[in-house]
A and B are shown apart, each in its own frame.
Chain A
Amino acid sequence: MKDGRPVNLDISTMKLPITAWASISHRVSGILTIPIFALFLWALQLSLESKESFQILQENFSAPLAKVFIILVLTVYSYHLLAGIKHLIMDLGYGETFEGGVIGAKLLFACTGISFILISWWLW
């Protein structure tokens, strides 16, 4: 790692293909999912502690701003899951060409859009 060879790769000067955006956002959503797990654990605790705490949780989640927040959180999580499924499919050898990657990335973004709509429809 410290071999001192120059690295001539400035990503900020490049126009990134859709596949790169899918890859970067998979990473970003993964990092975001770590604090999201604290939220999940907190919600799980309140939901199981008692009927009263369950109701407190439901009240917390019924405010419009809280709903928007939860919808966004679940969308980020579902994006990470969907991107992971795409990754596993590619591990199996499907869509490994650049063209395949582009189709996969488009499908991923489309599926995330659908999951956003479904999550919003369910929670609102």
Chain B
Amino acid sequence: MNVTVFNRSGISDWILQRASSVIMLAYSLTVASAVIPDTSYEAWSVFMTQTWMRGFSTLALLAMIAHSWIGVWAVLTDYVTVRMLGSLGERLRLFLLVLMGILLLVYLLWGVFIIWGFI
């Protein structure tokens, strides 16, 4: 059963998983290179509230959500299955996927609020 938002095909998942990983890698290095030399509040808040950085943060947030979803989907379809758990496998996997969807939605809203300064 193919319960996902993104993977209409394996190829789109494959590409999205790699594209999102490169975005998050670039983002992690960018944040690290800003915070390691100067850990003061002033430098940090000025850096993070630049418009381009807010955009980059939003992009990284979206990448994180796509990447997490595909990753969890891949792991669940390997281990939480009918073969591993009997008839429970299918229902449990669906339940965990829905739970993950809700969690990632919370991350998305929470992240957008933080990045754009609504909190």
Contact = CB atoms under 8 A, between A and B. Distances in A.
A109 B5 CA distance: 34
Interface string A70-113: 00000001000100110110010000000000000000000000
Contacts of B83: 7
A51 B119 CA distance: 14
A30 B103 CA distance: 15
A48 B117 contact: yes
B3 interface: no
Q: Interface SS of chain A: helix, strand, loop or mixed?
A: helix
Given A41-B111, A48-B49, A88 B119 contact: no
A85 B44 CA distance: 27
Contacts of A116: none
Given A51-B41, A54-B41, A122-B36, A37 B25 contact: no
B114 A48 contact: yes
A15 interface: no
Interface in A1-53: 1-2, 7, 27, 30-31, 33-34, 37-38, 41, 44-45, 47-49, 51
A60 interface: no
B105 interface: no
B110 interface: yes
Interface residues on B, range: 20 to 34
B114 A45 contact: yes
Contacts of B71: 27, 30-31
A49 B64 contact: no
B21 A41 contact: no
Interface of A: 1-2, 7, 27, 30-31, 33-34, 37-38, 41, 44-45, 47-49, 51, 54-55, 77, 81, 84-85, 87-88, 91, 122
Across chains A and B, which 3 residue pairs bring their CB atoms closest together, nearest first?
A54-B41, A45-B114, A30-B71
7 contacts: A1-B81, A37-B68, A41-B110, A47-B44, A47-B45, A48-B45, A85-B25
